[in-house]
Structure 1
Amino acid sequence: MLTLKAIFKKILNRKQSESSPVGLPENHRLYCIGDIHGRLDLLQEVHQKIACDALAFDGVKILVYLGDYVDRGIHSRQVLDCLLENHFPDFKTVFLMGNHEQVLLEFLNNKDLSVALDWFRFGGLPTLASYGITVRGIPTARDLQQLRAEFRQKMPAVHLAFFERLHLYYEIGGYFFAHAGVRPKIKLHRQRPEDMLWIREEFLNSDVFHGKVIVHGHSITDEPEIRHNRIGLDTGAYASGKLTCAVFEGTSCRFL
């Protein structure tokens, strides 16, 4: 596996234009947290590590969350409460949308309730439980309407506002952050939301350089992945007990 410095050296050798800078701007440090999926305990541990790591740094500090805050783990509501507490007032904080947040919003807002069954299959039931909602048996269409009404009632307004304000991507310097990745050979400013939230094999298997190094979650690996064109940070926290945080500074990358 290449080091990030070696990757950026290759990028520089390609004579990137000034509009495609390498690494982070000077005097910047960026922390990026992978998919949380309701693991409040791991999120609190990572927050503590970030606070200690950033204590002596006087430059511009940025914290990016890659999405998938909810589902699968048992503390989705509590994760939202934690994120909204603003533990890092001296950081610029960026919250990206994951595909799980997209489906949650579709369940709340879409007239077609069939999305609920898909959501339940890939982790939505623990999220409902964290808000005090129990699903018994296989719900009928009427049951789904009642569940949605109860979910709307029990979700705090600040949580709904949080979900609705999530960003699809964030870019700075030589990095582009998106939950799932990007579609190869499509310019970054023309990427479709569906791809940035859901894409897998076509992005993961591509050797194409996308103009910037893509930092993403969504696709689980045992360890963080550093490739010449992307960095993957989803280490399956809900099951593995390992929530990854990458620390970017200049052209370097390390992990907490």
Structure 2
Amino acid sequence: MFERPPPRAAKFAEGRVGYAVGDIHGRADLLALLLDRLEACAEVDQRPAGAPFLIFLGDYVDRGPESHTVIELLLSGRPAGYERRYLRGNHEQIMQAFMDDPVATRAWVLQGGAETMLAYGVTPPSPMTATEEDWHAAAASLRAAVPETHIDFLNGLERYVALGDYAFVHAGVDPARTLEQQADEDLYWARERFIASRRPFSHRVVHGHTPVDKPYVDERRIAVDTGAYASGTLTAARFEDEDVSFVSVSSRPVFRTP
């Protein structure tokens, strides 16, 4: 039995305002700019029902040059006045998997993990020449370099957040399952099948993971990953009642190293 389809005009949590931030991918400069913008909104967006939500959709690390600093900013508590929620993305998942089993997940280094290792002061192995011993040594060095506060942050990331008629996830959902039944594979990695599906779901889905030139909106989903690490643009969606709007900050693009 499937859940009810979402209403045509989805509503956010009653009497509250919320923001959902797309993939950051090591762009601490853009995150700092966005937090400055949101700091100016915090007081205006207070409501009798509660403080505004600030939901981060995952993929804080990899590809961009400052993954360490991104997590420090997320842990800083700024801007004040928000109720924060942090989701896990596929890049956090594979980073943690690398620290546990680097040989099985060594492809991470080619998927943006090299930049994260460098951000923590660890030299990534060469995928072409590294031995199993090299991979295990690199994972041990990374485990030693990542502060305990960052490990705790990664371990505490949520799979999804549901507020009002909205489900906030990193990548997508399988519409054949309830929100509570979603597999990690779909929440963290879904792409073409989720995007192409017209099957109704219980919530309007807000997600990152799949880059778009500008925010995408339809009745089923809202996509807010504007490819920050390469495009130089980081986007957040703002929700209140039935209204959805967007705030973006921009700086120079930073492309991945070969």
Aligned-pair distance for 1:202?
0.8
Give the equivalent residue in structure 1 for 2:175. 184
1:37 and 1:139 mapped to 2: Cα distance?
A: 26
Contact 2:68 2:116 in 1 (8 A): yes
Secondary structure in 2 aligned to 1:254? Answer: strand
1:194 and 1:203 mapped to 2: Cα distance?
A: 12
Pair 1:140-2:131 in alignment: yes
Give the equivalent residue in structure 1 for 2:117. 128
Aligned-pair distance for 1:136?
5.1
Give the equivalent residue in structure 2 for 1:113. 103
Superposition map of 1:1-256 within 5 A: 11=8, 22-59=10-47, 60=50, 61-110=52-101, 113-116=103-106, 118-135=107-124, 137=126, 138-256=129-247
Contact 1:179 1:216 in 2 (8 A): yes
Contact 2:21 2:235 in 1 (8 A): yes
Closer/same/farther in 2, CA of residues 135 and 57 from structure 1, 3 Å limit: closer
Report the aligned-residue RMSD. 1.4
Q: Deviations over 1:48-74 (max 9, x none)?
A: 111112332321210000000000000
TM-score norm. by structure 1 comes to: 0.89
- Aligned residue pairs total 237
Secondary structure in 1 aligned to 2:158? Answer: coil
Q: Deviations over 1:183-233 (max 9, x none)?
A: 122221211111100011110011222111000000011011101100001
Aligned-pair distance for 1:164?
0.6
Identity among equivalent positions (%) equals 37
After superposing the two structures, state which structure 1 stretch, 62-71 or 182-191, moved more: 182-191
1:51 and 1:157 mapped to 2: Cα distance?
A: 27
Closer/same/farther in 2, CA of residues 193 and 136 from structure 1, 3 Å limit: closer
Deviation >4 Å, runs of 4+: none
After superposing the two structures, state which structure 1 stretch, 79-88 or 65-74, moved more: 79-88
Contact 2:43 2:81 in 1 (8 A): no
What letter matches 1:70 in structure 2?
Answer: V
Gaps of 5+ in 1: 1-7, 13-21
After superposing the two structures, state which structure 1 stretch, 127-136 or 244-253, moved more: 127-136
